[in-house]
Chain A
Amino acid sequence: MKRLGGSLPWVVGIATGLALGWWGYAALVFEERVPAVPFSHAVHTGEAVGMTCDDCHRTSNVRAISLPTVDDCTACHMDFPGIDRDLEELLALDDPWPSSLEQPEGVRFSHAQHVDLAGMECSACHGDHGSATSARSVAVNRISGYPRALWGRDGVGPVEGAHAMEMSDCVDCHDQRGVVQSCLDCHR
């Protein structure tokens, strides 16, 4: 060929554009937030230690998220392998445990209703998080400020790992279990 003619540039261009839009945008707009502490759930829930979810996570008197405090950690041990700095200092940082499930302010979730009343298992929504060997980094949308799990699938499937927590996920589960719902059950 003497020159690139015909539709080849178009095709190449379209393919490039699609790739840019599909993956490139996601790569640009989501930033990874790494937890301050390299915590291994697997070590704590494994046979050696044998803890369960509610040893550190609470379901009552919290709005939605119950993350452990320093006291929960130091209740058992003072040495923290893999951490150079003081644990308290680390936990005092801005957003030490980024959560992929943090809901907007207008949404209300009650662990008490789901765990205490409905008797759900933690893994029903959070997956088998207990066997995770490291604390997950969270992809947060730079523009909207929300985690990827709430808004923004990457086009090739749901976010890997724990269940995404979009409204449709909640609604689907409610539908499956026949729980009647109205807007104000969850929206403030």
Chain B
Amino acid sequence: MNPDVTRRTVLKWMGGIAAGIVLSPAPYALVDDLTIATQTRGRSVPLPTGARGRVRTRCSACPRGCSIELHTVGGRPYLAVPATAGACSCALRPAVHHLASSPGRLDTARLHGRTTDSHEGLEVAASWLEDAVGKGASIGVIDLSGRPAIATPSASLVARVPGAVRIETRAHWLDDLAARVGLDPDLELSIDPRSVDDALWLWPGRSIGPARAIERGEDPRAVVDRLRAAGVRAVLLGEDGVGARPDDAVLSSLARIDVDLGAIGSGRPIPVRRRVAPPANVPTVALGDVDEGSFDLLVIDASRVAGAVPWRRMASLLRSGRGRSIVFAPTPGPAMRHGDLVLPASAPLEIEEGVGGERFGDAARIALSTPVLERPRSCVDLHDLTRRVDSRTPCGADALAAALVEGGYGRLRDPEDRTLRVAGLGAGTVATELRRGAVWEGEGAAAGPVLRPAPTAAVVDDESPRLVLEGAMVVAAGERVPDVLSKVAREQPLLPRGGRARAHPEDLADWGIVEGARCRLRTSAGRLDVVVFADAAVRRGHVLAGCGFGPESFGDPERAPEPTALEVLDLDPRSEAPPVIHALEVS
């Protein structure tokens, strides 16, 4: 029997198959599987696996070098937390392992273009210096940090090195403006920024109050007209970085504003200060007075520059061909072209357990993409980050000075016998490590005159292996103090008057300071009248004074900078402790 299979039969059969498939679990299983596949395979990245660990090291986002502890998985860091109490109040730090390896950062030395270890680089630098000193050669040191009121580290280098000369540069945009408005360029003008309503306070790259509108793109002329109509006079404060300049449009607009030295709107006097001269025993020349080929060795410290570095202005000096140049820079780029030996501004993040030196993508975005910070959602490149560096923290040439003075780098050996190398930065961290039991092993003895107080002078106490630090390492992002910006670059709100300082209650007891007493905190960065409170979260021997010292807190500019001291104004009559406490660490 041969059934006649017609097309209709086939169609029915196929229809039956289709119905059967639909009735079976298959289509739904297929949809399920596809859904799962899109959900799980759509996940862009798997999680890391491996053994967990914790490594202690130093943050290298800025030269302060806070102690941090890195969480690692499979040897790779993924989070940084503070290793000591009272330290590193900074929002960049949790993601610092990204920053440290950002490709924009210079983290090793380059010698004649060849990559080399930064410690070796510093030792080469020290040997060049020694060589030059030995031959009686001429050495020029350019410090671009641009904060003349602060004891300049280049001065300390110059003080240690016979035959060295400090080359001073100036905020040339301020020179331009000063020339346009007929100001004496040696005057450093400041205004009382506590009132934002009737003052216009500008400095390169940053502004508060009405001037913020200019930064955001409003026509500067319109803003300035508005202010002028309100009776505002404008005064410029020359702060950060040599060579950094505000927008030319702003500059030219402001040049048309009268500068009234006597009063500003409300009639308050404007304090006028002379630019602080470098210490008298430091020979100084102006950049404009220096000829090409004047120096056998040139040291340029651009490690703390917030803003652009005027490479072109110095190029003629660098190309003199007669000698060598050592440049401290945060990023490669122009420094590489001009410097024979280029050294990183701060030490790389040294992770003891085999991780480090790996490059990341634009990892700074992670830390800076929270709305907590001033520029949410923007990819901030590393150069912009260096603007936020506290320029009063020693690094760069100080490291070199330390290398020279100490005859090389000291090494810290901690109780667990791991070697932590101190690359001339993070002196606060060094002190922390010592308090935890590490021992300073200096190599060689101090040589030559030491400028007192040297900002990073590591004076080793011969009695016991303590590291006594003189000089202020003022960092930001602590308590808000008027007039000073946080390192994390958020605007300062108006706060009640008077600084506040915090110290450990046992320290206060030792020092005979009653909580709430007024004290005067003196450092080489300036002085600040504070009210002291007890805070057990602050390290022993440490005074946490918040964001630093505002412009009105500068000491008498004619005097040499002072060692760190806390002078008790409200003495406790019952106490026999001296009214001035030295050997403090201030942050």
A146 within 8 A of B: yes
Residue of B9, B12, B17, B41 near A145 (CB, 8 A) is: B41
B360 within 8 A of A: no
**A13 to B16, Cβ gap below 8 A?**
yes
Residue of A5, A12, A22, A141 near B25 (CB, 8 A) is: A22
Q: Residues 14-53 of chain B: 1 if any A CB is under 8 Å from the residue's CB, otherwise 0?
A: 1111111111111101101110110011010011010000
B3 within 8 A of A: yes
**A21 to B20, Cβ gap below 8 A?**
yes
B280 within 8 A of A: no
Give the one of B14, B29, B47 with max A CB within 10 A.
B29
A111 to chain B, nearest CB (A): 16
Give the CA-CA distance A29 to B104 in the complex, in Å.
48
Residues of B within 8 A of A5 (CB): 9
**B16 to A3, Cβ gap below 8 A?**
no
Give the CA-CA distance A3 to B4 in the complex, in Å.
4
Give the CA-CA distance A2 to B113 in the complex, in Å.
94
* Known pairs A12-B16, A21-B26; A105 contacts B40 (CB<8 A): yes
**B6 to A3, Cβ gap below 8 A?**
yes
**A16 to B24, Cβ gap below 8 A?**
no
With CB as the reference atom, state the residue of chain B lying closest to A19.
Answer: B20
Give the CA-CA distance A12 to B47 in the complex, in Å.
50
Give the CA-CA distance A10 to B3 in the complex, in Å.
15
Residue of A2, A15, A141 near B33 (CB, 8 A) is: A141
A9 within 8 A of B: yes
List residues 59-106 of chain A with CB under 8 A from any CB of chain B.
Answer: 63, 104-105
Give the CA-CA distance A128 to B63 in the complex, in Å.
61
**B25 to A4, Cβ gap below 8 A?**
no
**B18 to A17, Cβ gap below 8 A?**
yes
A43 to chain B, nearest CB (A): 31
A34 to chain B, nearest CB (A): 22
**A18 to B23, Cβ gap below 8 A?**
yes
Give the CA-CA distance A12 to B1 in the complex, in Å.
18
List residues 130-161 of chain A with CB under 8 A from any CB of chain B.
Answer: 141, 143-146, 151-152, 155
A56 within 8 A of B: no
A-B contact pairs, 18 of them (CB 8 A): A3-B9, A13-B14, A13-B19, A14-B19, A15-B16, A16-B20, A17-B17, A17-B18, A18-B20, A20-B20, A105-B43, A141-B33, A143-B30, A143-B33, A144-B33, A145-B40, A151-B32, A155-B25
Instruction: List residues of B whose CB falls within 8 A of some A CB.
Output: 1, 3-6, 9-10, 12-27, 29-30, 32-34, 36-37, 40-41, 43, 46-47, 49
Instruction: List residues of A whose CB falls within 8 A of some B CB.
Output: 1-5, 9-22, 24-25, 29, 63, 104-105, 141, 143-146, 151-152, 155
